[in-house]
Structure 1
Amino acid sequence: MKAYKNILIIKMSSLGDVLHALPTVYALRENCPEARIVWAVHPAFSPVLPGKPYIDDVVYIDKKRLSSLTYWRELRRILHGYHFDLCLDLQGLAKSAVVAFNSGAEEKYGYWEMREGSFLISKGLAGPNKHGHVIERYLDTVRCLGGIVDAVEFPLPHIDGERAGIMGRLASDGLIGDYLAVVPGARWTVKEWPVAHWQTFLSRVTASGMNVVLLGSNADIPKGTAISGFLSSDHVFDYTGKTSLRELMAAIAMSRLYISADTGPLHIANALKKELIALFGPTCPDRTGPYGGKNSSYIHMMISPTSRATAEHPLINDPDCMSQITVAAMWKTFESVMKKVKK
């Protein structure tokens, strides 16, 4: 790989997508140890980015202004100041093409799936994992540029302060012992496991004496309230909407087991290499599921019986897809995983 001196990575959103791109910045740093690496991102997702030695600087992109030519001039001035010789557009959309166009980079590339005209700005690089997991698709950009990729690693920010803070909050709220971290919501409603299913399943969990910490964004507050109110248990701690993104990471990191559907925090758990249970129905786990652990046995997926996992989005418009994952099936998986976790 060429000894690039100034590299721009464009991956602005969403949470899971940004996390999927972290192994690529790790590989770039391994191959270009002296380069200055800059990441262009929406501010909301920047807390999951690591600092040095992996990323030297962050450029915050205002998505609301990307259609403004005035903003284009601002971006051009900011980005040209870095004198980029390489730009990697891992978003592959019109909005990221705007950033790449204004980057001033001598070489502009992206992974092979460049959409919305982004291929007019950056050259898509197709490697051996063209139809594989999205993490490998991103890593193929490094491979195609002559780089060596010998590991899938997720460089993450330091969260020691957040760990101490969350630990103190949970202790003051009365939590004693281990807990499950559960995120009941998802960005797309069609990907969510029904609240009634969560209520029934978590009733069995808390009856066994296990603590449950409910996590998620402000949008998940109604689900957290419905679940915690239904259970009315001293073993349930509803933290939906009550954590920052890094505090969410800390709460997941300290849990015994993480459970959710296909949503951003799932990919935090994967990056932390936590034991987890992921519920997939309308989306394809072969493309975007948990990936990159030292031992793939830590991944436990349950696919809706009607899902066609070979398709990119097999049942994206089926509102009943996730309800076909039964509480009985979830409990069976939970018991199996807990036996393993306790070893």
Structure 2
Amino acid sequence: MYLRIMRAGQRVLFVQTAFIGDAILATSMVETWHAARPQDEIHLCVRKGNESLFAQHPFVKRTWVWDKSGGSLKRYARLIGLSAALRSMRFGAVFTPHRHASSGWLAGLSGASVRSAFAVHPLARVFTHLHAHRFGDGTHEVERNHDLIREWANGLMAPRLYPSPSDARRWDALSNGSIGSWVIMTPMSQWQTKQWPIAHWEGLIQTQLEGDSELNMCLMGSPSDAPFLTELARAVNSDRVHVAAGWKLLEVAYAMSQVKAVVTNDSGPLHIASAMNAPTVAVFCSTSPSFGFGPLSAHHEVVEIQEKLACRPCGMHGHRRCPESHFRCGFDVNVDQVYQAMHRVIAAASR
């Protein structure tokens, strides 16, 4: 018989070693668990690079890190070491929305009495509680993840991040205290078919420059995005367009909490915006909001091609190039669609 009653004061672990967006959405589980069981001690396990997101999280006692860099031998040697360290913590429960064998290994060797995952997990046999993975029907990822903890912590909470005062400094210096007169745009994606064409981003910026003399724009991205963002800013040639590449994730989160809107692709920054409840416009190209990774902010819009394409969506994560070589799902989302959506969101959030 499965253990369904969990005593108070347990040490619990949430494992999500996928990408930034997945780790951010998993904070919904942390928020929900803490609201229902504030006496429990919460731990997180994430991939190296994502741990900075939780540096000041008030409900997370410790963040464990799996370094996936290097070859397979090094990667899995670290996984074995991590599993031993986690087992020594004597967790009462382990929850993993991550659907890969590595998370099953960590859960299975944890010694926890409750181990909860999705039934599609490749190591489903090591879990005590399995749940249907509702996908493609519009169910959001945070709702899916909530199924894993519902028996012990009901009442779904939104994902949330907690920037510190030090995370505010770069944005406050850049914006010079002009709260609310900015829009953040994140034009880049590691998947080309998830990235609205750069020419369209340039058109959006130009349209905004011509239509509103008060609004400043900040182009944000990773360090590797810097050359592309700099070139984009150079192309529009305006002192109202600024580049901020390579900022820490919580610095980005703070900045998003201070602006009138965030315009983004279906990528990690979308989920940072959701966690900060920033007004959001999300442009979906090859992927679909029906996958469950759309915006969650109180004021948001999704913009996508209006015509139904037989080839769309062409995959969950996007591709390096369009499999059909036309990329209509990106090119046919026009500038005016996004511009109008941005101003509707700004107006709605200002009421």
Interval containing the TM-score (normalised by the shorter chain): 0.7 to 0.9
Structure-2 change in CA distance of 1:111 and 1:31 (3 Å): farther
Q: Alpha-carbon deviations, 1:6-43, whole Å to 9, x = none?
A: 21110122111011111111122233322222111123
- Count residues in correspondence: 333
User: 1:62 deviation in Å?
Assistant: 1.5
User: 1:50 deviation in Å?
Assistant: 6.3
Is 1:71 the counterpart of 2:72? The answer is no
Structure-2 change in CA distance of 1:290 and 1:314 (3 Å): closer
Is 1:140 the counterpart of 2:143? The answer is no
From 9, 13, 35, give the equivalent of 1:8.
Answer: 13
8 Å CA contact 1:129–1:140 kept in 2: the answer is no
Letter of the 1:206 partner, please give it.
L
Residue of structure 2 equivalent to 1:270: 274
Q: Secondary structure at the match of 1:64?
A: coil
From 171, 184, 188, give the equivalent of 2:191.
Answer: 188
User: 1:301 deviation in Å?
Assistant: 0.6
Is 1:300 the counterpart of 2:301? The answer is yes
Residue of structure 2 equivalent to 1:327: 335
Distance 1:122 1:67 in 2: 26
8 Å CA contact 1:284–1:309 kept in 2: the answer is no
Residue of structure 2 equivalent to 1:91: 98
Distance 1:25 1:99 in 2: 19
Residue of structure 1 equivalent to 2:112: 105
Residue of structure 1 equivalent to 2:201: 198
From 216, 225, 248, give the equivalent of 2:252.
Answer: 248
Structure-2 change in CA distance of 1:171 and 1:31 (3 Å): closer
Mean Cα displacement is larger for which, 280-289 or 77-86? 280-289
From 226, 238, 263, give the equivalent of 1:259.
Answer: 263
Structure-2 change in CA distance of 1:28 and 1:312 (3 Å): farther
8 Å CA contact 2:116–2:129 kept in 1: the answer is yes
User: 1:196 deviation in Å?
Assistant: 0.6
8 Å CA contact 1:206–1:236 kept in 2: the answer is no
Distance 1:245 1:312 in 2: 29
User: 1:310 deviation in Å?
Assistant: 9.6
8 Å CA contact 2:186–2:269 kept in 1: the answer is yes
Q: CA RMSD in A?
A: 2.8
User: 1:88 deviation in Å?
Assistant: 0.9
Q: Alpha-carbon deviations, 1:41-76, whole Å to 9, x = none?
A: 123111222656421111111113775564354223
Mean Cα displacement is larger for which, 80-89 or 282-291? 282-291
Letter of the 2:203 partner, please give it.
T
Q: Secondary structure at the match of 1:63?
A: coil
TM norm structure 1: 0.87
User: 1:215 deviation in Å?
Assistant: 0.3
Residue of structure 2 equivalent to 1:154: 159
8 Å CA contact 2:168–2:251 kept in 1: the answer is yes
Structure-2 change in CA distance of 1:73 and 1:313 (3 Å): closer
State the identity as a percent.
20
Q: Secondary structure at the match of 1:58?
A: strand
Q: Secondary structure at the match of 1:110?
A: strand
Mean Cα displacement is larger for which, 87-96 or 190-199? 87-96
Distance 2:143 2:179 in 1: 40
From 319, 337, 340, give the equivalent of 2:345.
Answer: 337
User: 1:249 deviation in Å?
Assistant: 1.1
Is 1:279 the counterpart of 2:279? The answer is no
Structure-2 change in CA distance of 1:230 and 1:123 (3 Å): farther
From 60, 76, 81, give the equivalent of 2:88.
Answer: 81
Mean Cα displacement is larger for which, 330-339 or 231-240? 330-339
User: 1:147 deviation in Å?
Assistant: 2.5
Mean Cα displacement is larger for which, 261-270 or 64-73? 64-73
**Which sections of structure 2, spanning at least 5 residues, go unmatched?**
none
Distance 2:202 2:133 in 1: 43
Letter of the 1:284 partner, please give it.
S
Letter of the 2:43 partner, please give it.
V
TM norm structure 2: 0.85
Q: Secondary structure at the match of 2:308?
A: coil
Mean Cα displacement is larger for which, 134-143 or 150-159? 150-159
Distance 1:51 1:315 in 2: 30
Letter of the 2:301 partner, please give it.
H
From 218, 239, 243, give the equivalent of 1:238.
Answer: 243
Structure-2 change in CA distance of 1:292 and 1:31 (3 Å): same
User: 1:97 deviation in Å?
Assistant: 2.3
Distance 2:182 2:43 in 1: 37
